[in-house]
Amino acid sequence: MIRLLSASLAALLLLGACSGPGIKKQTFDPYAASKATSADVVKTGTLGTLEPSMLKPPNVPFTIGPGDVLDIDLMGSTEGPQQTFVGPDGKIYFHLLPGQQVWGLTVPQTQALLERGLSQYVRNPHIGITLREVHSRRVWVLGRINTPGLYELNSPMTILEAISKAGGLFTSRMSGSAEELADLQHSFIIRRDKLIPVDFNKLIRQGDTSQNIYLEADDFIYLPSALGSEIYVLGAVGRSHPVAFKDEVSLVTALAQCQGLAKGAIANKVAIVRGSLHEPSIAIVDAQAILEGKKPDILLQPKDIVYVPQSSPGSLSSYASLIVNSFVRIIAANEGAAAGGANAPVPVNISLGQ
């Protein structure tokens, strides 16, 4: 997925007055070299900062949900603890009681609910409940991990604890090192369909615990392989998909492999994003002028993201944020579908907004 954009040049159309907060301005002559084959770049700075509250254990008590397994014991009963499943509708069935709605209740609240219900049949009932299995609150840990998959979130858990629970980073048998196998520059975490600005390079390689946030249910952690070399083409093209990098791939070649520009594409504001997902660099190029032969083609690098907009982009920082968020959502959808055993991945041309 992406490494720093080299400067060289031609065909670059910066968004001039559209430099947003945190953008480092860079001046240059786009025609300084007559045979330039790559684009100059502007650093956008970080795409966000972590909220201090994310570094603190959540103080919200665990609540029961569908799929959870409870051991329920009616004190004094000769039957002993009964294993009870929370159904898809959030109800449990115990003893003489009809279905009891426990979805969203804590264990003590569930205990009180059952005792109230059983008081119709049993004098002064006392219930003991043990949370046996958690399936309603889980996190995804995928990629270059020894045991990728879904993991229960039944107590406060940080990113590093989740990675450890999944067996840690996959280690090379040749070198014994995990660093070259996971691409930390392009690792990410998504929460409620939004990228959380965790710098995995700082967290794992530098041991920066200020990046080690606590997880929430349905968080998606992905650590991709460092061996991948695709170029990702997104947005208003005929068919968005990864383009294999072989020897040399130009912007025109990548667009052609994606069936060219789609109707309504704003071809003079095509973005090339390169570098860390946390601190990406972005170049805006006039693809229309390149396709018409008025400007030289641009050489791409492995893991570049090429994005063709259908509406005018705003500041460089907001444009980069849109592209990176669209990209990670697509990767998460495809990797999640594959991990879940789906027969086909989610297509990368799904509508993600402009």
Instruction: Work out the number of other CB atoms within 10 angstroms of the CB of residue 341.
Output: 6
Q: How many residues belong to the chain?
A: 354
From 107, 104, 61, select the one nearest 84 (Cα to Cα): 107
Query: CB within 8 A of 188, min separation 6: which ones?
Result: 195, 196, 198, 200, 221, 222, 277, 328, 331
The answer to whether residues 150 and 175 touch, using CB atoms and an 8 Å cutoff, is no
- Model confidence at 248, pLDDT cuts 50, 70, 90, reads confident
Average of per-residue pLDDT across 246-251: 88
- For the cut 60, the answer to whether the pLDDT of residue 345 exceeds it is no
Does 262 score more than 90 pLDDT?
yes
On whether the CB atoms of residues 235 and 222 are closer than 8 A, the answer is no
Q: What are the residue boundaries of the structural domains of the chain, listed by start?
A: 1-61+137-354, 69-133
Confidence of residue 349 (pLDDT cuts 50, 70, 90): very low
pLDDT digits (tens, 9 = 90+) for 283-328: 899 999 999 999 988 889 899 999 999 988 888 888 989 999 999 9
Q: Has residue 139 got a pLDDT over 90?
A: yes
Q: Which of 31-35, 143-147, 159-163 has the highest mean pLDDT?
A: 159-163
Q: Rounded to whole angstroms, how far apart are CA atoms 176 and 180?
A: 10
Say what the pLDDT of residue 231 is.
93
Q: Which CATH superfamily is domain 1-61+137-354 in?
A: Outer membrane lipoprotein wza domain like (3.10.560.10)
CATH assignment, 69-133: 3.30.1950.10
CA distance 233 to 71: 51
Q: Which two tokens stand for residue 113?
A: 């609910």
What span, in angstroms and rounded, lies between the C-alpha atoms of 307 and 304? 10
Coil, helix or strand at residue 68: coil
| 168-218 tens-digit pLDDT | 988 766 555 555 588 999 999 999 989 999 999 999 999 999 999 999 999
Q: Quote the pTM value.
A: 0.77
